[in-house]
A = this chain, B = another copy of it.
Amino acid sequence: MRRSIATVCLSGTLADKLDAAAAAGFDGVEIFENDLIASAWSPAEIRARCADLGLAIDLYQPFRDFEGVPQDLLAANLRRAERKFDVMQELGARTLLVCSSVAAQAVDDDALAAEQLRVLAERAERRGLRIAYEALAWGRHVSTWGHSWEIVRRADHPALGLCLDSFHILSRESRPSGIDLVPAEKLFFLQLADAHRLDMGVLSWSRHHRLFPGQGSFDLPGLLGQILAAGYRGPLSLEVFNDVFRQADPRQTAVAAMRSLLALQESAGQLDVPSAPVPSGFGYVELSVTEASRATVAGTLAALGFVRSGEHRSRPVELWQQGEARVLLAGRSQGRGAERCDGDTISALAFESADPQRSLRRAAALLAAPAVSEGGCGETGEAAGKAAALTAPDRTAILIHRPFGEPGCWSRAFKQAEGAGPTAASDGRLTGIDQVTLTQPFDRFEEAALVYRALGLSLSEEAEYPAPFGLIRSRTATDPAQRVRVTLIGTLERRGEWSPGVPEPQHVTFTASDVFAAARAARDHGAPLLPIPHNYYADLDARLGLEPELLDRLQEFDVLYDRDEGGEVYHFFTGLLGSRIFFEVVQRVGAYRGAGVADTPVRMAAHRRLRQQHSLLRG
């Protein structure tokens, strides 16, 4: 099926938008009238430009407040329509979107609306054009797809059909019924948009907070299935009004849009993408740090019980291990992409898969890597042998390997480190990697989640919480067994000049089987643990009435605590290791599913204090 995108989804002038849509591989566009009006290109020139770019003009939109008007307004509306038909013929656009009237003068009279739309369709037909009638969710009298279908049926003209818009339908009813019964020849056009369920009026919701398919919580595969069952074979066209996308680089947005559409097509069984095993665990996490930070990071790993077990055979990369937790420590690359990677970074995540090549083929088919790779930061890929890598929107490389220890394992690229104990020398304080938490670029939060979903991980709902320097949102991607967990965080508003928190924090959380033993040993070995204020424990006592002994232990080791219906969580943090990386150690008891998120503001304030103290010491 053809894939289209409405120009209103993208930021920029019409020229920017067409370039971006073509570069992302769309077959066609809906031209939003305001984009055409502001363009210096004539409609014929726009047609030629689209042809050059390989884009069809699948829809011209919107035409507003046409139907259901008193008879004396009809002539003016028809005159207006004829002028727009002129534009469409010059453009080579065959279908006009007419959305249901919102004007105060519109009359609640289905027969009148049908009659007037029939007159419009007759005129369109004479020009070889056709009318796709759409019910806006906030239409004055016609606000449901069913009502719009009733009017189209009544008007009964071959040049009049329906435009279905998933937002207008699913914002009102999550499981519409009967769409599969509409005759296919009456389904002229399909617009697709997703959204989170927000507690707000449908007009503001639609105009500000639409998302691309899969980024929100609407059941788009279900709706698309119904519409395909009805026989619709027209374009699958994205129409997303979103405040952030309106300001973001249209080239990135268009690629994200295509990624969403491909994933939707696969969900609806309309696209043949190789299946692949879900990642079954973390192979390793790679840190690329500046020379200034390297000693601190290495020292902290050692204090946490990690052993420097391997050295890369050809590059200055170390392998640190403890239980199933594996960390590669590399210097900041001086090469490709280095200028874009300021300071220390989690440069790569390696996932384990029973069939890495298939996982990568699947991810590539779903555009999980940006169409234009910008390269990662650090020693990515090279450090880890020949595994192909994806680059996530935040520039973290994602590698997929066979499980550790299997034949052909990436670890063959490492030889035993000089002076290091054997790999198994860890005293077992930490047992593995629990999760990795990565700050996303502001404009790309939504799309990042879909990259992880393309790898087979499932996404949590978006959570939101206050923190000292602004509201934070987060979304977690996990496998069913919770062996891989990547938490994407971002701010609700783009940060401005006043942002004294850790800039774009990233952290790795390790699992411990005994959090107190781990904390005690880490402290004894000189790890820079993060001090937690007494007030936190006083509040914990007030809220939860913990045993005094437990409370004392928590406080003694700066361990934070939370519980929910499923279980408990104990966790502690290190201070900042360089510019933005830190570690966390967690012990989960029972089926605790949170991420200790309630403690994040406390952690953030504590990190800020540490840095202020360091500045004072330095200053």
Contact = CB atoms under 8 A, between A and B. Distances in A.
Interface string A594-615: 0000000110111011000000
A616 interface: no
Contact of A246 (B35, B43, B198, B466): B466
A217 to B, nearest CB: 16
From A86, A208, A539, A608, name the one whose CB has the most chain B CB atoms within 10 angstroms.
Answer: A539
Contact of A13 (B200, B493, B536, B605): B605
Given A42-B534, A80-B542, 6 more contacts: A35-B468, A37-B602, A41-B533, A199-B200, A247-B469, A494-B496
A494 B244 CA distance: 9
Q: How large is the interface on A (under 10, 10 to 19, 20 to 34, 35 or more residues)?
A: 35 or more
A125 interface: no
* Top 10 A-B pairs, shortest CB-CB distance: A199-B201, A200-B200, A83-B542, A247-B470, A38-B605, A249-B498, A494-B494, A40-B533, A38-B602, A246-B470
Interface string A525-546: 0000001011110110111010
A469 B246 CA distance: 6
13 contacts: A11-B470, A33-B539, A36-B535, A37-B535, A38-B536, A40-B531, A40-B533, A79-B545, A86-B538, A87-B535, A247-B469, A248-B498, A443-B498
Nearest to A14: B605
Contacts of A83: 538, 541-542
Given A12-B469, A80-B543, A84-B542, A493 B244 contact: yes
A471 interface: yes
A549 interface: no
A495 interface: yes
A491 interface: yes
Contacts of A277: none
A200 B206 CA distance: 12
A535 B204 contact: no
Contacts of A498: 11, 247-250, 443
Contact of A491 (B13, B208, B247, B491): B247
A493 B243 CA distance: 7
How often does this chain occur in the complex, in copies? 2
B198 A533 contact: no
Interface in A212-250: 243-244, 246-250
Nearest to A138: B199
Contact of A492 (B243, B495, B602, B604): B243
Interface string A36-65: 111111110000000000000000000000
Contact of A12 (B39, B198, B500): B500
A295 interface: no
A535 B43 contact: yes
Interface in A575-603: 601-602
Given A11-B470, A496-B442, A545-B76, A536 B37 contact: yes
A499 interface: yes
A494 B604 CA distance: 23
Nearest to A16: B500
Contact of A468 (B11, B442, B471, B499): B11
Contacts of A605: 13-14, 38-40
Contacts of A250: 498
A13 B469 CA distance: 8
